[in-house]
Structure 1
Protein backbone atom coordinates (compact mmCIF):
# COMPACT_ATOMS: atom_id res chain seq x y z
CA UNK A 1 0.00 0.00 0.00
CA UNK A 2 2.75 2.41 0.97
CA UNK A 3 4.70 1.49 -2.15
CA UNK A 4 1.66 2.36 -4.34
CA UNK A 5 1.35 5.78 -2.71
CA UNK A 6 5.04 6.46 -3.30
CA UNK A 7 4.71 5.39 -6.96
CA UNK A 8 1.68 7.66 -7.42
CA UNK A 9 3.55 10.56 -5.82
CA UNK A 10 6.55 10.02 -8.14
CA UNK A 11 4.25 9.83 -11.18
CA UNK A 12 2.47 13.07 -10.24
CA UNK A 13 5.77 14.80 -9.50
CA UNK A 14 7.20 13.77 -12.87
CA UNK A 15 4.10 14.44 -15.02
CA UNK A 16 2.30 17.26 -13.15
CA UNK A 17 2.27 19.46 -16.24
CA UNK A 18 0.25 16.87 -18.17
CA UNK A 19 -2.29 16.69 -15.37
CA UNK A 20 -2.59 20.49 -15.05
CA UNK A 21 -2.65 21.30 -18.80
CA UNK A 22 -6.37 20.60 -19.36
CA UNK A 23 -7.30 22.84 -16.42
CA UNK A 24 -5.15 25.69 -17.75
CA UNK A 25 -6.61 25.35 -21.25
CA UNK A 26 -10.18 25.28 -19.92
CA UNK A 27 -9.40 28.33 -17.78
CA UNK A 28 -8.18 30.29 -20.80
CA UNK A 29 -11.27 29.38 -22.83
CA UNK A 30 -13.61 30.35 -19.98
CA UNK A 31 -11.84 33.70 -19.56
CA UNK A 32 -12.02 34.36 -23.31
CA UNK A 33 -15.72 33.53 -23.61
CA UNK A 34 -16.55 35.51 -20.46
CA UNK A 35 -14.75 38.53 -21.98
CA UNK A 36 -16.73 38.14 -25.23
CA UNK A 37 -20.04 37.89 -23.32
CA UNK A 38 -19.12 41.04 -21.37
CA UNK A 39 -18.29 42.96 -24.58
CA UNK A 40 -21.60 41.92 -26.19
CA UNK A 41 -23.54 42.92 -23.07
CA UNK A 42 -21.94 46.37 -23.10
CA UNK A 43 -22.65 46.72 -26.83
CA UNK A 44 -26.33 45.73 -26.50
CA UNK A 45 -27.11 47.68 -23.29
CA UNK A 46 -24.71 50.61 -23.72
CA UNK A 47 -24.74 53.43 -21.20
CA UNK A 48 -22.03 56.05 -20.69
CA UNK A 49 -20.92 57.88 -17.57
CA UNK A 50 -17.68 59.21 -16.13
CA UNK A 51 -15.33 57.46 -13.75
CA UNK A 52 -12.30 58.41 -11.70
CA UNK A 53 -9.06 56.42 -11.57
CA UNK A 54 -8.07 55.57 -8.00
CA UNK A 55 -5.19 53.15 -8.50
CA UNK A 56 -2.98 51.30 -10.95
CA UNK A 57 -0.54 48.44 -11.24
CA UNK A 58 2.04 47.69 -13.89
CA UNK A 59 1.59 44.84 -16.30
CA UNK A 60 4.44 42.37 -16.06
CA UNK A 61 7.63 43.82 -17.58
CA UNK A 62 5.76 46.58 -19.43
CA UNK A 63 6.59 49.78 -17.62
CA UNK A 64 4.33 52.07 -19.63
CA UNK A 65 1.29 49.76 -19.84
CA UNK A 66 -0.77 49.56 -16.66
CA UNK A 67 -4.04 48.21 -15.32
CA UNK A 68 -6.00 51.18 -14.01
CA UNK A 69 -8.64 50.71 -11.30
CA UNK A 70 -11.54 53.13 -11.42
CA UNK A 71 -14.94 53.77 -9.89
CA UNK A 72 -18.19 55.26 -11.11
CA UNK A 73 -21.76 55.57 -9.90
CA UNK A 74 -24.95 54.43 -11.57
CA UNK A 75 -28.39 54.84 -10.00
CA UNK A 76 -26.77 55.81 -6.70
CA UNK A 77 -24.62 52.70 -6.47
CA UNK A 78 -20.81 52.66 -6.67
CA UNK A 79 -19.19 50.30 -9.20
CA UNK A 80 -15.54 49.57 -9.88
CA UNK A 81 -13.62 48.27 -12.86
CA UNK A 82 -10.19 47.87 -14.41
CA UNK A 83 -8.97 48.80 -17.87
CA UNK A 84 -5.57 48.82 -19.54
CA UNK A 85 -3.94 52.10 -20.53
CA UNK A 86 -0.58 53.77 -21.01
CA UNK A 87 1.19 56.24 -18.76
CA UNK A 88 2.81 57.64 -21.91
CA UNK A 89 -0.66 58.74 -23.07
CA UNK A 90 -1.00 60.85 -19.94
CA UNK A 91 -3.31 58.45 -18.10
CA UNK A 92 -2.77 58.86 -14.36
CA UNK A 93 -4.41 58.34 -11.01
CA UNK A 94 -7.10 60.91 -10.26
CA UNK A 95 -7.94 61.31 -13.95
CA UNK A 96 -11.59 61.31 -15.05
CA UNK A 97 -12.52 59.44 -18.23
CA UNK A 98 -15.65 58.09 -19.94
CA UNK A 99 -16.86 54.68 -18.84
CA UNK A 100 -18.97 52.48 -21.12
CA UNK A 101 -21.05 49.95 -19.25
CA UNK A 102 -24.10 47.73 -19.51
CA UNK A 103 -27.18 49.30 -17.93
CA UNK A 104 -28.45 45.75 -17.29
CA UNK A 105 -25.27 44.69 -15.48
CA UNK A 106 -22.98 47.66 -14.63
CA UNK A 107 -20.29 45.23 -13.48
CA UNK A 108 -19.63 44.83 -17.21
CA UNK A 109 -17.72 48.04 -17.91
CA UNK A 110 -14.64 49.52 -19.53
CA UNK A 111 -12.94 52.90 -19.32
CA UNK A 112 -12.15 54.84 -22.51
CA UNK A 113 -8.83 56.71 -22.21
CA UNK A 114 -9.04 58.86 -25.35
CA UNK A 115 -10.06 62.14 -23.65
CA UNK A 116 -9.57 63.27 -20.05
CA UNK A 117 -12.39 65.22 -18.44
CA UNK A 118 -12.71 67.57 -15.53
CA UNK A 119 -15.62 67.70 -13.09
CA UNK A 120 -17.61 70.93 -13.02
CA UNK A 121 -20.08 71.51 -10.18
CA UNK A 122 -23.13 73.71 -10.75
CA UNK A 123 -24.44 75.63 -7.73
CA UNK A 124 -27.77 77.31 -7.05
CA UNK A 125 -28.22 80.76 -5.47
CA UNK A 126 -27.85 79.27 -1.96
CA UNK A 127 -24.53 77.64 -2.76
CA UNK A 128 -25.98 74.12 -2.94
CA UNK A 129 -24.78 71.75 -5.64
CA UNK A 130 -27.58 71.23 -8.17
CA UNK A 131 -25.75 69.31 -10.89
CA UNK A 132 -22.42 67.88 -11.95
CA UNK A 133 -21.14 68.06 -15.51
CA UNK A 134 -17.91 67.00 -17.11
CA UNK A 135 -15.94 69.07 -19.59
CA UNK A 136 -13.03 68.12 -21.80
CA UNK A 137 -9.92 69.10 -19.87
CA UNK A 138 -8.54 71.03 -22.85
CA UNK A 139 -11.92 72.72 -23.32
CA UNK A 140 -11.74 74.24 -19.84
CA UNK A 141 -8.46 75.94 -20.74
CA UNK A 142 -9.94 77.16 -24.04
CA UNK A 143 -12.97 78.58 -22.21
CA UNK A 144 -10.70 80.42 -19.74
CA UNK A 145 -8.67 81.93 -22.60
CA UNK A 146 -11.90 82.96 -24.35
CA UNK A 147 -13.13 84.68 -21.16
CA UNK A 148 -9.83 86.59 -20.84
CA UNK A 149 -10.00 87.70 -24.49
CA UNK A 150 -13.64 88.82 -24.13
CA UNK A 151 -12.78 90.76 -20.97
CA UNK A 152 -9.83 92.39 -22.75
CA UNK A 153 -12.02 93.31 -25.76
CA UNK A 154 -14.62 94.79 -23.43
CA UNK A 155 -11.99 96.94 -21.71
CA UNK A 156 -10.50 98.13 -25.01
CA UNK A 157 -13.97 99.00 -26.36
CA UNK A 158 -14.69 101.06 -23.21
CA UNK A 159 -11.39 102.92 -23.60
CA UNK A 160 -12.25 103.82 -27.24
CA UNK A 161 -15.65 105.20 -26.24
Structure 2
Protein backbone atom coordinates (compact mmCIF):
# COMPACT_ATOMS: atom_id res chain seq x y z
CA UNK A 1 0.00 0.00 0.00
CA UNK A 2 1.26 3.41 -0.92
CA UNK A 3 2.29 5.71 1.96
CA UNK A 4 0.25 8.59 0.57
CA UNK A 5 -2.93 6.48 0.57
CA UNK A 6 -2.24 5.35 4.14
CA UNK A 7 -1.59 8.93 5.23
CA UNK A 8 -4.81 10.10 3.53
CA UNK A 9 -6.82 7.35 5.23
CA UNK A 10 -5.40 8.28 8.62
CA UNK A 11 -6.21 11.94 8.03
CA UNK A 12 -9.75 11.04 6.94
CA UNK A 13 -10.21 8.87 10.02
CA UNK A 14 -8.88 11.66 12.25
CA UNK A 15 -11.27 14.19 10.68
CA UNK A 16 -14.18 11.78 11.06
CA UNK A 17 -13.40 11.22 14.74
CA UNK A 18 -12.88 14.95 15.29
CA UNK A 19 -16.25 15.76 13.70
CA UNK A 20 -18.31 12.90 15.23
CA UNK A 21 -16.50 12.19 18.53
CA UNK A 22 -19.68 12.68 20.57
CA UNK A 23 -21.43 9.87 18.66
CA UNK A 24 -18.49 7.60 19.36
CA UNK A 25 -18.16 8.52 23.06
CA UNK A 26 -21.87 8.66 23.93
CA UNK A 27 -22.38 4.90 24.34
CA UNK A 28 -19.33 4.67 26.61
CA UNK A 29 -20.53 7.57 28.76
CA UNK A 30 -23.99 6.04 29.04
CA UNK A 31 -22.58 2.65 30.05
CA UNK A 32 -20.33 4.21 32.70
CA UNK A 33 -23.25 6.24 34.08
CA UNK A 34 -25.45 3.15 34.42
CA UNK A 35 -22.63 1.12 35.98
CA UNK A 36 -22.08 3.80 38.63
CA UNK A 37 -25.84 4.20 39.22
CA UNK A 38 -26.51 0.47 39.59
CA UNK A 39 -23.44 -0.02 41.77
CA UNK A 40 -24.72 2.70 44.14
CA UNK A 41 -28.17 1.11 44.12
CA UNK A 42 -26.72 -2.33 44.90
CA UNK A 43 -24.73 -0.81 47.77
CA UNK A 44 -27.81 0.94 49.20
CA UNK A 45 -29.88 -2.26 48.97
CA UNK A 46 -27.10 -4.26 50.65
CA UNK A 47 -26.96 -1.80 53.54
CA UNK A 48 -30.75 -1.89 53.87
CA UNK A 49 -30.91 -5.71 53.92
CA UNK A 50 -27.91 -6.32 56.23
CA UNK A 51 -28.06 -3.16 58.36
CA UNK A 52 -25.60 -2.85 61.23
CA UNK A 53 -24.58 0.35 62.99
CA UNK A 54 -21.45 1.51 64.74
CA UNK A 55 -19.57 4.77 65.28
CA UNK A 56 -16.95 6.26 63.00
CA UNK A 57 -14.49 9.12 63.26
CA UNK A 58 -13.86 11.65 60.49
CA UNK A 59 -10.19 11.83 59.53
CA UNK A 60 -10.23 13.96 56.36
CA UNK A 61 -12.28 15.85 53.82
CA UNK A 62 -12.19 17.35 50.36
CA UNK A 63 -14.41 19.97 48.82
CA UNK A 64 -16.85 19.15 46.07
CA UNK A 65 -16.31 21.05 42.84
CA UNK A 66 -17.35 24.72 43.33
CA UNK A 67 -19.28 23.95 46.53
CA UNK A 68 -17.78 25.73 49.49
CA UNK A 69 -19.72 24.22 52.38
CA UNK A 70 -20.50 20.77 50.92
CA UNK A 71 -17.62 18.32 51.30
CA UNK A 72 -16.78 14.64 50.99
CA UNK A 73 -15.78 13.44 54.45
CA UNK A 74 -13.52 10.41 54.90
CA UNK A 75 -14.03 8.34 58.04
CA UNK A 76 -12.87 5.15 59.76
CA UNK A 77 -14.80 2.61 61.78
CA UNK A 78 -14.09 -0.81 63.27
CA UNK A 79 -16.10 -4.00 62.76
CA UNK A 80 -15.05 -7.50 63.87
CA UNK A 81 -11.59 -6.22 64.72
CA UNK A 82 -10.95 -4.79 61.25
CA UNK A 83 -10.72 -1.12 60.32
CA UNK A 84 -12.87 0.04 57.40
CA UNK A 85 -13.03 3.40 55.70
CA UNK A 86 -15.77 5.24 53.88
CA UNK A 87 -16.76 8.54 52.33
CA UNK A 88 -20.00 10.48 52.81
CA UNK A 89 -21.16 13.95 51.83
CA UNK A 90 -21.89 16.56 54.49
CA UNK A 91 -21.89 20.29 55.14
CA UNK A 92 -19.34 22.32 57.07
CA UNK A 93 -22.16 24.72 57.93
CA UNK A 94 -23.75 21.87 59.96
CA UNK A 95 -20.58 21.68 62.06
CA UNK A 96 -19.20 18.54 60.44
CA UNK A 97 -15.40 18.49 60.57
CA UNK A 98 -12.37 16.32 61.20
CA UNK A 99 -12.13 14.51 64.53
CA UNK A 100 -15.90 14.34 65.11
CA UNK A 101 -17.72 11.05 65.67
CA UNK A 102 -21.02 10.06 64.04
CA UNK A 103 -23.02 6.88 63.50
CA UNK A 104 -22.15 4.71 60.50
CA UNK A 105 -24.65 2.42 58.79
CA UNK A 106 -23.09 -0.53 56.98
CA UNK A 107 -23.77 -4.01 55.67
CA UNK A 108 -22.62 -6.75 58.03
CA UNK A 109 -22.10 -8.96 54.96
CA UNK A 110 -19.86 -6.38 53.23
CA UNK A 111 -18.73 -3.56 55.56
CA UNK A 112 -17.21 -1.72 52.57
CA UNK A 113 -20.82 -0.77 51.79
CA UNK A 114 -21.27 2.00 54.36
CA UNK A 115 -22.43 5.56 54.92
CA UNK A 116 -22.06 8.03 57.76
CA UNK A 117 -25.10 9.77 59.24
CA UNK A 118 -24.37 13.37 60.21
CA UNK A 119 -27.57 13.97 62.24
CA UNK A 120 -26.17 13.60 65.77
CA UNK A 121 -22.58 14.02 66.93
CA UNK A 122 -21.24 11.60 69.55
CA UNK A 123 -18.31 11.60 71.91
CA UNK A 124 -16.30 8.62 73.00
CA UNK A 125 -16.32 7.62 76.66
CA UNK A 126 -13.65 5.16 77.80
CA UNK A 127 -14.60 2.86 80.70
CA UNK A 128 -11.57 1.93 82.79
CA UNK A 129 -11.10 -1.17 84.93
CA UNK A 130 -9.60 -1.20 88.45
CA UNK A 131 -6.08 -1.22 86.99
CA UNK A 132 -6.77 1.93 84.96
CA UNK A 133 -6.80 0.13 81.63
CA UNK A 134 -9.54 0.54 79.04
CA UNK A 135 -12.17 -2.15 79.65
CA UNK A 136 -14.86 -0.87 77.30
CA UNK A 137 -15.85 2.05 75.11
CA UNK A 138 -19.22 3.75 74.96
CA UNK A 139 -20.55 6.66 72.95
CA UNK A 140 -22.90 9.40 74.13
CA UNK A 141 -24.47 12.29 72.30
CA UNK A 142 -22.48 15.49 72.57
CA UNK A 143 -24.09 17.51 75.34
CA UNK A 144 -25.68 14.40 76.89
CA UNK A 145 -22.91 14.22 79.51
CA UNK A 146 -23.89 17.70 80.74
CA UNK A 147 -27.60 16.77 80.80
CA UNK A 148 -26.85 13.59 82.76
CA UNK A 149 -24.78 15.53 85.31
CA UNK A 150 -27.58 18.09 85.75
CA UNK A 151 -30.09 15.26 86.20
CA UNK A 152 -27.88 13.73 88.91
CA UNK A 153 -27.66 17.10 90.70
CA UNK A 154 -31.44 17.55 90.55
CA UNK A 155 -32.02 13.98 91.81
CA UNK A 156 -29.56 14.55 94.65
CA UNK A 157 -31.26 17.84 95.55
CA UNK A 158 -34.69 16.15 95.42
CA UNK A 159 -33.44 13.39 97.71
CA UNK A 160 -32.16 15.95 100.25
CA UNK A 161 -35.42 17.95 100.24
CA UNK A 162 -37.52 14.77 100.58
CA UNK A 163 -35.49 13.64 103.62
CA UNK A 164 -35.91 17.07 105.26
CA UNK A 165 -39.72 16.85 104.98
CA UNK A 166 -39.82 13.47 106.79
- Length-normalised TM-score, structure 2: 0.87
* Map 1:70-89 → 2, pairs under 5 A: 70-89=75-94
Give 1:141 shift.
2.2
Q: Which of 6, 13, 16 pairs up with 2:21? A: 16
The number of residue pairs the alignment matches comes to: 156
Corresponding residue of 2:36: 31
Q: Is it true that 1:4 corresponds to 2:9 in the alignment?
A: yes
* Map 1:84-99 → 2, pairs under 5 A: 84-99=89-104
For 1:125 and 1:149, locate their aligned partners in 2 and report how far apart those are by CA, in whole Å.
29
For 2:98 and 2:152, locate their aligned partners in 1 and report how far apart those are by CA, in whole Å.
30
**Unaligned residue ranges in structure 1 (runs of 5+):** none
Corresponding residue of 2:133: 128
- Length-normalised TM-score, structure 1: 0.90
**Unaligned residue ranges in structure 2 (runs of 5+):** 1-5
Give 1:100 shift.
0.4
Larger-Rg structure: 2
Q: Which of 80, 91, 103 pairs up with 2:108? A: 103
For residues 3-25 of structure 1, give each alpha carbon's deviation from its aligned partner in whole angstroms, at most 9, with x where no partner exists: 10111112112222221111111
Q: Please, what is the CA RMSD of the aligned residues?
A: 1.8
For 2:31 and 2:84, locate their aligned partners in 1 and report how far apart those are by CA, in whole Å.
29
